Amino acid sequence: MDYQVHTLGNGIRLLLKHSPSPITHCGFLWNAGARDEPEHKEGLAHFIEHLIFKETEKRSTSQILNRLELVGADLNAYTTKEYTCIHASFLNQHLERTIDLFEDILFHSTFPADEMDKERGVILDEIASYLDQPDEAIQDDFEGLLFKDHPMGNNILGTTETVKAFDGGDIRSFIQQTNNTHEMVFAIFGNYDLKRIIKLGEKYFGGIAANNNPKIRIKPVANPGSFQKIGRPISQTHCVIGTQAYASSHHSRYGLLLLNNLLGGMGMSSRLNMELREKHGIAYTIESNYTSFTDTGIFSVYFGTDDEKAEKAIRLVHKELKKLRDNPIGTLQLHQAKQKFIGQIALAEENRMSLILSMAKSMLDHNRVDSLEQVFEKINAVTAEELLHISNEIFDTDKLITLLFEPVE
């Protein structure tokens, strides 16, 4: 994967991947997320992500929102457990306009009280809306069990109580403690040379004072397996089965990614989809997911089904997990699984915004970006014996946590 990197004197990294397209996609990522929030301040990182689009020292809210929309650009942001991101897509001639806006909202937001109160109401509505979607709410409750008594288990949105209590002091303190310049990456996918990117980077970001406060993140401990049911006013049963998994730097990460894709990843031919949906017709949605973080990961299986079919669905999920624990994958099956996964990764490269943000995250986590060839080599190097070992380690029934949302009157 061809890319170039330049580090400014304050530690901010500029990452460029060249493209002849007339459209630029860029993102500014910084290594501060929900897991970095102080106790009783859950949701603060997400709250700040919303507020940076309000007033700055030189722009009003409307000026911020119109700055890129008036030239047809798309601007958005999101918060995760470990980092926050703002990103934009625009015609190439608007690069400097975009960088100017990014620098302004990231480093010169004023967080006025009236805007905080308005956005507080928006986020409270977001929380209420989120809780009305059981397929999403169960994921957060599951992570709360998986990372019990650890910040990784907190809801990114926070709670009604915490969001109501945030003030300007909380925001400024969090930014000072977590927004370290050496943990920031500005990544650009566009038709430019590195000299121009460095020139603009120095102009807008070069004068930002270095902030390199040490970040202390405590690795979550593994919690034992459990089985819990929660009654909800819903029409279907929703279920998540899973456990903690490998961190992003773990040597078996690619093996688990391959295994997850085989079990319940993209496409209709996954083992879980074929067994539960196609063979037994008992789940419209059935999927598995593996997400890695800097020091841990999450593997989970999710499905939604009619209440009377839930018990059978759980048995079928465990049946598939047991097959992977007990029997090595055959040579042909392994080859097909690798080809499918490699093809999906190659197609995903066509989503250029997703690609550049993935590259920025890799630069944050590993200070490098692997090429497609390097990724494919790692996938092709996975053996049936390694997958068997991973299956017995990750799908161990004693480690699996099961959470059900059941319908109640």
106 and 254 housed in the same domain: no
Beta strand extents in 261-349 (DSSP E only) = 285-292, 297-305
- Residue owning tokens 């119109």: 66
294 and 387 housed in the same domain: yes
125 and 179 housed in the same domain: yes
Tell the burial category of 245 from Cβ atoms under 10 Å away from its Cβ (0-12, 13-18, 19+). buried
Residue 375: half-sphere exposure toward Cβ, Cα within 13 Å: 18
13 and 93 housed in the same domain: yes
Whether the predicted model's global pTM rises above the 0.85 cut = yes
200 and 333 housed in the same domain: no
Straight-line distance from the first to the last Cα atom of the chain, in angstroms, rounded to the nearest whole number? 55
Chain-centroid distance of CA 190 in Å reads 23
Beta strand extents in 80-224 (DSSP E only) = 84-91, 184-190
196 and 288 housed in the same domain: no
Instruction: Give the number of domains in the chain.
Output: 2
- Dihedral sign from CA coordinates of 168, 172, 175, 177: negative
**Of 171, 204, 237, which closes a domain?**
204
Domain assignment of residue 41, given as a range: 4-204
> Do the domain assignments include residue 342?
yes
Read off the CATH number of the domain in which 323 is found: 3.30.830.10
39 and 119 housed in the same domain: yes
239 and 332 housed in the same domain: yes
> Do the domain assignments include residue 334?
yes
19 and 131 housed in the same domain: yes
Show pLDDT as tens, one digit a residue, over the chain (409 residues).
Answer: 589 999 999 999 999 999 999 999 999 999 999 999 999 999 999 999 999 999 999 999 999 999 999 999 999 999 999 999 999 999 999 999 999 999 999 999 999 999 999 999 999 999 998 878 999 999 999 999 999 999 999 999 999 999 999 999 999 999 999 999 999 999 999 999 999 999 999 999 999 999 998 888 999 998 899 999 999 999 999 999 999 999 999 999 999 999 999 999 988 899 999 999 999 999 989 999 999 999 999 999 999 999 999 999 999 999 999 999 999 999 999 999 999 999 999 999 889 999 999 999 999 999 999 999 999 999 999 999 999 999 999 999 999 999 999 999 7
64 and 155 housed in the same domain: yes
Residues 224, 399: contact at Cβ < 8 Å?
yes
51 and 182 housed in the same domain: yes
